[in-house]
Amino acid sequence: MYSPKIGDHVSTLDTPSMIVDLDLMESNISKLMNQLLPTGVNIRPHLKTTKSAILARRLNGAGAKGGCVAKLSEAEVLCAKGFDDLLITCEIIGPVKVARLVELFRRFRRLRIVVDSVVGASAINEALEKSGINEPIQVLIDLDVGLRRTGIQPGEPVLQLATHIAKLKHMKLIGIQGYEGHLQHLHNREERKKSCLESMAILTGTAGILRKEGFNMDVVTTAGTGTAEFAVTVPGVTEVQPGSFIFMDTDYRNAVGTFYSNSLTILSTVLSKQGPKCVTIDVGLKSLSTDSGLAEAKDPRFTYGVLGDEHGSLAWVEGEDLEIGDRVEMIPSHIDPTINLHDFYYAHRQGIIEEIWPVDARGKVQ
């Protein structure tokens, strides 16, 4: 039975396989920590990228504090794996999801959530009241700082929401979240910095107003891989949420440059020759996401094309031909949804597999 083991060479892996160069990954982690930790701002990595309790603990061992997840189901899995210092960064709406939150909070009291509406806050508070749990859940207000995806508007709307939360027995307001996701992939660094600082002014200014009104704003959390370096320079920001930096992808590389390395690739096999300078490989839509454009071959000679669910093409102009059975590494264009397509990471150092990590929260989108 096929069962890759620690000590095997990556050449023995079946394909497609998701492989991680440990030297590059560890360098990425060190670079981020060395750049951000001296500012005194906490790093709470967004684990929607890795979906892994093992990597959550590794990031905390390097200096991070806790983690973020996008979805409640991700939190359920990571808590069960022993990593429960989590902020769920998406709103929890609907009776089914609220009931699941209550049961998770019953067992794991370090959970933090965000709300952006009176409706959402009231439903969670009512469910907690009925549950018999006396300890309040820690809550952050989700503020729109320009993304126009979730988050309440600054000004009177956020003041009204904070006033409402303060009256709820089963909620403890601890701060505010504002995510400038629309800025993460701006290619012009100065434009990205300028726009980020504008979003930070909205976030920290709102936190200051709420603080003056007597509301607890201990946590002001924000930013991603493309903006964290700017956000940490803003007085009042207490926490940043980068995630993709650990592995990177072509989309982030094209935006922020090569400060971080592409440490994760999808190992593929040449299945068929389709004429001169063109072959078919065994990675298609079920192995590589395409929402941020097409993946790229690690060898820049080759140009990738999608041929369906299971297949892709590689074409080139110069150099030796690829032959049937050859291996090629592909760099994902968008790391998060690509990881969600795979069961395991095979982490290697100079080709020798040192660790095998399950993608614990694969498919957890609820």
Of all residues in the chain, what percent carry a pLDDT higher than 70? Answer: 100
**Tokens matching residue 75:** 């939190």
Amino acid 93: pLDDT: 98
Q: Where in the chain is the domain with CATH 3.20.20.10?
A: 22-247
Q: How far apart, in whole angstroms, are the C-alpha atoms of residue 306 and residue 287?
A: 11
Least confident of 61-65, 92-96, 251-255, 319-323: 319-323
Cis omega before residue 276 (within 30°)? no
Q: Where in the chain is the domain with CATH 2.40.37.20?
A: 10-17+259-358
Q: How many CB atoms lie within 10 A of CB 160?
A: 12
Q: How far apart, in whole angstroms, are the C-alpha atoms of residue 298 and residue 115?
A: 41
Q: How far apart, in whole angstroms, are the C-alpha atoms of residue 151 and residue 153?
A: 7
Contacts of 348 (CB under 8 A, 6+ apart): 10, 19, 20, 21, 22, 354
Amino acid 95: pLDDT: 98
For residues 220-228, give the mean pLDDT. 98
Q: How far apart, in whole angstroms, are the C-alpha atoms of residue 287 and residue 289?
A: 7
Q: How far apart, in whole angstroms, are the C-alpha atoms of residue 235 and residue 247?
A: 29
Instruction: Give bridge partners of residue 239 from the DSSP assignment.
Output: 42, 221
For residues 176-192, give the mean pLDDT. 97
Amino acid 319: pLDDT: 86
The tens digit of pLDDT for each residue in 293-308 reads 999 999 999 999 999 9
**Strands 219-222 and 171-178, how do they pair?**
parallel
For residues 240-244, give the mean pLDDT. 98
Judge whether residue 156 has pLDDT over 90: yes
Amino acid 149: pLDDT: 97
Q: How far apart, in whole angstroms, are the C-alpha atoms of residue 338 and residue 247?
A: 11
Q: Are 88 and 113 in contact (CB under 8 A)?
A: yes
User: Which among 148, 3, 124 has a CA at the least distance from the CA of 72?
Assistant: 124
Amino acid 64: pLDDT: 98
Query: CATH second-level architecture of 10-17+259-358?
Result: Beta Barrel (2.40)
Query: CATH second-level architecture of 22-247?
Result: Alpha-Beta Barrel (3.20)
Judge whether residue 157 has pLDDT over 90: yes
